[in-house]
Amino acid sequence: MKSGSKQGVGGSQSKAGADAGKTIAGKQSVGKQVVVRKRPVSAGPTASVEAAVAKITPARLAAFEILKLVGEGKGHSDELLHSPRVDALSPEDRNLTTALVMGVLRWQIALDARVRGLLQRPEQRLAEPVAIALRLGAFQLLHLERIPAHAALSESVELCRAAGEPHAMGMVNAVLRKLAAAQRPGVRIHESVAAFAERLGHPRWLVERWVKAYGRDAALKICEADQMEPAPGGMFSESGGDLPQMDDGSRLVAEIAAVAVPEAKRVWDCCAAPGGKTLILARRLSGAELVASDVSTKRLAQTEARLKRYAYAERVVFDVADAADAKGVEGEFDLILCDVPCSGTGTLAENPEIRHRLKEEEFARQADRQRAILAGALKRLAPGGRLVYSTCSLEPEECEGVADAVAGAAGVVKVPVDGMMAELGEQGVLLNGVELGSAVRDGALRTLPGVHGCDGFFAVVLERA
């Protein structure tokens, strides 16, 4: 996904901030060996910067660096939080680093709004290192009760000095002190969509789309769920052991695919990475030949390495292939899972930075690619076979819009998922009492964060006559 415009107080950097943006205190440290570079005389005395770094805990220093890289589009939070640099931290520091990074990304829009109201000139654009330091401090003051206020405040000030922005130290100190002393605002009895979107750290335009598609109450629940740490699943009767770790929404799609054609002989997971759904298919369809493909050689290699840890996945065959042109794989398939790349708006709890990069015009570009993949995959669907098209998007353009456009021209019909959901209940795959009737819309699966207890997924089953 291409990076979009920044949200909130972060804006264009000053020259010193841009120079410091590559490192803190002239150091390359996230995921790499530390390399100290010579600092320009204009940046001030080295001793001052080194003294500032010495006053910053490893967890806050790592979090600052990761947030800067994410903001610059130079890495994904999940990858950076599992870099060698972070792995080398103590368990306590790793936990704090993760909490800071994910928390700031989830709450960035709300944090920026609170900070903006405390600036002498609310319209001013701050250098990005200063904006990040303020967000880190504000997040700790507002959301981490166990962090002493003086620690959050003083280390945010030192982060400015360490990043080559000593002129902003006084302002950061004053703003965070005001924030620490201010009374926390309550939730209004009658809250507008714009108000709860900002309060819950979401772009207004995106929330307005959800209100239009799902209603105000559902949109509010989605926003609230996006601000919470993803919790272990509670939808399925069997978990752990030799089953993959994955969100319940993602697993539900794979379970539906498995019961769609229980006697399938040939199965193709055509966008397989990272492999969780492939594993569910391999475990449920023990008599089938299973092909897993992906357009990315690197991602497919990682998927293959992951699946080797599961004995029941030994028969999976891996092929680098672009499903859009139906090349790279041979023959026809009784069952195809087409879980296409998408905007990921149903997964903002675990991928919070998506909301800061995404632009509305991206949905049309995504849909073009998705239609091509679905059309290509359908060319390999055998007569009587079924294809499950799915996304982790909440946007109709990427879901119903794609399925309806391609299905109408490909000679396939939609099969309601109701029967397959009932079958999962009868087989005991779903826990007793799990009610997913509201997750079926017009015969397709549509789960919503905060409403159905899992990520937001769409799935439709198509059958060739």
Does a structural domain hold residue 339? yes
Distances (CA, A) of 240 to 3, 232, 245, 251, 347: 36, 10, 7, 13, 21
| Shared-domain flag, residues 348 and 209 | no
Is the predicted pLDDT of residue 13 greater than 80, yes or no?
no
What is the pLDDT at residue 48?
80
Q: What does the alpha-carbon distance between residue 132 and residue 288 come to, in Å, rounded to a whole number?
A: 51
| Shared-domain flag, residues 289 and 198 | no
Averaged over 165-189, what is the pLDDT? Answer: 90
| Shared-domain flag, residues 100 and 217 | no
Is the predicted pLDDT of residue 16 greater than 80, yes or no?
no
Q: Give pLDDT tens digits for 282-298.
A: 999 999 999 999 999 99
Average pLDDT value over all residues in the chain = 89
What is the pLDDT at residue 187?
67
Does a structural domain hold residue 78? yes
What is the pLDDT at residue 11?
39
Measured from the Cβ of residue 181, the count of other Cβ atoms closer than 10 Å reads 9
Is the predicted pLDDT of residue 39 greater than 50, yes or no?
no
What is the pLDDT at residue 47?
56
Is the predicted pLDDT of residue 31 greater than 60, yes or no?
no
Q: Give pLDDT tens digits for 235-281.
A: 999 988 899 999 999 999 999 999 999 999 999 999 999 999 999 99
Percent of the chain with pLDDT over 90: 79
**59 vs 18, more confident:** 59
Is the predicted pLDDT of residue 304 greater than 50, yes or no?
yes
- DSSP for 374-441, written as a single string: HHHHHTTEEEEEEEEEEES---GGGTHHHHHHHHHHHTEEEE-SHHHHHHHHHTT-BPTT---GGGEE
| Shared-domain flag, residues 88 and 155 | yes
Sign of CA dihedral 381, 378, 306, 247: negative
Does a structural domain hold residue 350? yes
What is the pLDDT at residue 271?
97
Q: Which residue has the tokens 């291409």?
A: 2
As for how many domains the chain has, the answer is: 3
| Shared-domain flag, residues 107 and 149 | yes
| Shared-domain flag, residues 41 and 163 | yes
Is the predicted pLDDT of residue 377 greater than 70, yes or no?
yes
Q: Give pLDDT tens digits for 78-126.
A: 999 999 999 999 999 999 999 999 999 999 999 999 999 999 998 889 9
What is the pLDDT at residue 24?
52
b/e sequence 251-262, b meaning 16+ C-beta within 10 Å: bbbbbbbbbbbe
| Shared-domain flag, residues 206 and 285 | no
Q: Give pLDDT tens digits for 194-215.
A: 999 999 999 999 999 999 999 9
Q: Give pLDDT tens digits for 339-350.
A: 999 999 999 999
Q: Give pLDDT tens digits for 122-153.
A: 888 999 999 999 999 999 999 999 999 999 99
What is the pLDDT at residue 293?
97
CATH number at residue 164: 1.10.940.10
Percent of the chain with pLDDT over 70: 90
Does a structural domain hold residue 233? no
| Shared-domain flag, residues 377 and 416 | yes
Is the predicted pLDDT of residue 372 greater than 50, yes or no?
yes
Does a structural domain hold residue 253? yes
Q: Is 31 left (phi over 0), alpha (psi -120 to 50) or beta?
A: left
CATH number at residue 302: 3.40.50.150
Is the predicted pLDDT of residue 395 greater than 80, yes or no?
yes
| Shared-domain flag, residues 220 and 310 | no
| Shared-domain flag, residues 173 and 199 | no
| Shared-domain flag, residues 203 and 171 | no
Q: Residue 230 CA to chain centroid, in angstroms?
A: 11
| Shared-domain flag, residues 313 and 360 | yes
Does a structural domain hold residue 147? yes
Bond into 274 cis (ω within 30): yes
Does a structural domain hold residue 3? no
Averaged over 316-332, what is the pLDDT? Answer: 91
Confidence class for position 8, pLDDT limits 50, 70, 90: very low
Averaged over 208-231, what is the pLDDT? Answer: 96
Does a structural domain hold residue 171? yes
What is the pLDDT at residue 232?
73
Query: Can you name the residues that pair with 24 across neighbouring β-strands?
Result: 27
The last residue of a domain, from among 122, 149, 181 = 181
Tell me which residue range forms the domain holding 221.
194-226
